[in-house]
Structure 1
C-alpha cells in the first residue's frame, strides 16, 4: 500500500480520487432524487486535496423557513435508511445542518445558508491520488457558464417555497 502525503492511511481500499468522486456523485444523485416534490440544483465546485475529493451541489429552489424542517426530515430519514450514521445536527433556526458519515468513511452534509439555500457536500476519505473529471450528473437548474459565483436560490416551488408549514405530498 502506498501512503500519500497528508494521509495517515488510505481508507478507500482500491478506490482512487475519480472513483471517490463518482461515489460522491451517486450519493448526491440518490438523496436529491429522494426529495419530493423535486428541487432544482446546480453543481458546486469540486475540490481535490492530496488524497481526498469533495463534490458539492447547491439547491436553487427556495426552501422557505417554514418548510426547512420538512426538507431536513426527508433527507435525514433517507440517509438513516441508507445506513449513514448521523454525527451532528445543528438545529439553528436560520442555518440548520445535518452531518453524516457512511460506512466507508465518506462525510456527507446538508447545510442551509442565506435565503434558504441548501448545500450538499460529500468529502471522501483518503484514497489513491488520481485526476478527477467533472461530474457526469446533469444539473437540473441553469447556471450561466460565465458565473463566478452561484447566485442565491431563485426558483419558486409551490411546496418548498411556501410560507406555511407542511408535509410533502405522498408520491410527488
Structure 2
C-alpha cells in the first residue's frame, strides 16, 4: 500500500509531537499553517508528479539567547538517537538551527528567526495524491507571519 498525503500528514504530526515531547520542559507551541502541494518531476530522473505535505509548530515560549543553542542541541541529540541523519547544523548564537532526514525520507527542521521566533517543521517525501488530508485541531496558524514568542518559562527564558 502506497503512502498518500493523508498518511504523510499523520506521520508529520507524529514526528513533530515526538520531537516536542523530547524537550524538557516542553515549550508552549501552536500549529503552523498546513502546506501541501506537488513537486514536479526532475528531468531525466522522475516521470511522475509527486505530492507532499508539510506540518509545523510555532514555538511560543521565549527562548533566551543563551538557551537557544541548548534547545537546538536537545533536538539534535533526540534526532540522532532516533537514527536520523543530521543534514544541517547552525551553531550560531543568535539564530541556531538543525535539520534532519528520517530513514523514510521525511525532513525536519528547527530554526530561529531574527526576532527570536522559533519554528519546527516536518515535510514528507514525494507521496501519492489524496483528496483527504487531516485537518488541524485549531485554526492552523493561518496568520501571515509566525507569532512572536510571548510565553515565559523559568528554564527556557532564563538569561544564564
**Structure 1 match to 2:6:** 18
**Structure 2 match to 1:161:** 157
Distance in 2, matches of 1:155 and 1:24, equals: 25
For residues 110-164 of structure 1, the C-alpha deviation after alignment (integer angstroms, 9 at most, x for no partner) is: 001133222011110000001312235xx7xxx8988554420000001100110
Q: Structure 2 regions of 5+ residues with no counterpart?
A: 39-50
The alpha-carbon distance between structure 1 residues 66 and 59, as it changes in their structure 2 partners (threshold 3 A), is same
Distance in 1, matches of 2:9 and 2:155, equals: 31
Note if 1:101 corresponds to 2:101. Answer: yes
**Structure 2 match to 1:45:** 33
Q: CA RMSD in A?
A: 2.0
- Length-normalised TM-score, structure 1: 0.79
Question: Aligned pairs, how many?
Answer: 147
- Give the superposition deviation at 1:49: 1.1
Q: Structure 1 regions of 5+ residues with no counterpart?
A: 1-12, 165-172
The alpha-carbon distance between structure 1 residues 113 and 157, as it changes in their structure 2 partners (threshold 3 A), is same
